[in-house]
Amino acid sequence: MLISQSDITDHKGDGWSRYVLGVIWSLEIKSGLEIYVDGQVPLGAGLSSSAALECSTAVALNHLFSLNKNSKELALLTQRAENKYVGVPCGIMDQSVSLMAQADHALLLDCRDLSTQHIPVDFAGASLRLLIIDTRAHHALIDGGYAERRASCESVARKLSVHSMRDLDLEKLESGRNLITDIEYKRARHAVTEIARVLAAVELLANRDFIGFGALLTQSHNSLRDDYTVSCPELDVSVETALKNGALGARMVGGGFGGSAIALIRDEDAGKISQAIERVFAERGFDSPRFFNSLPSGGARVI
């Protein structure tokens, strides 16, 4: 990929190249570049391929041009690229974990100040793994669905006089229900309960309570499906089938409207669960899914 300054200023990129151009723009690189991109994160699968591309590009350019940016600064700059250049009003979670993750740990991120805590996650030691189910239902955030849900939560915060969903609890949400629409109530209820699930997950993982953690994953999917309404039939079938066949928990991941689900499974159940999902997909007339096995790994780095 050959890149000139006119490519950046004229927004000549399309598809994945927009994310590369956005990072170059955000880092204020003024010289032309030749970039070769290779990777194994499937595009449009809800697995944060955009953040992976942005962050790997940012780390490479930070090293190449001796910009001396730290991980927090790069997270903010790559978020800016996606918000301002690509046009997706995303948060900073995907970029942060792509840059700051450590192997065998989950990342607890405070989006207000980007402070982090690494939570040990020994799935392998417990003979567990994450099964990633790529439903092949195309996922895209740029069509407005994500933006609409974010706007609903921001509207609730204004109407209930709080800074963000972080400052809201279920009691205050219920007391102000007459001030917001039914849709806004459901969107906010998901946000409030999801924040509580994150904090509960930290305790469960610290205590190696993987059964309890799996239950939280499933609760999260139900909330994303019913309150945030960002699931789809392929994702719901993946979760339901995985649970029926022994998964400890399962949920959709990413921004929704397609993409992938994850299931926390025992190692010996991987084949059984994958085959069951394939069978149900065929019965429903869905495209054949793809499967990946995963354990927590490190973030972007120069190799």
38 is an active site residue: no
- Buried-exposed string 68-102: b where 16+ CB fall within 10 A, e elsewhere: ebebbbbbbbbbbbbbebbebbbebebbbbbbbbb
Gyration radius from the chain CA atoms: 20
Name the catalytic one among 7, 14, 94, 113: 94
CA-wise closest residue to 45 among 146, 169, 136, 154: 136
- Which H/E stretch holds residue 252? strand 249-252
H helices present in the chain, as ranges: 5-9, 17-26, 49-64, 71-80, 93-100, 145-159, 170-175, 182-206, 210-226, 233-244, 270-284
What does the block give as tokens for 164?
């963000």
- Asked if 35 and 20 touch (Cβ cutoff 8 Å), the reply is yes
d(CA 186, CA 127): 37
List of residues 6+ apart from 155 with CB closer than 8 A? 180, 184
Residues with catalytic annotation? 94
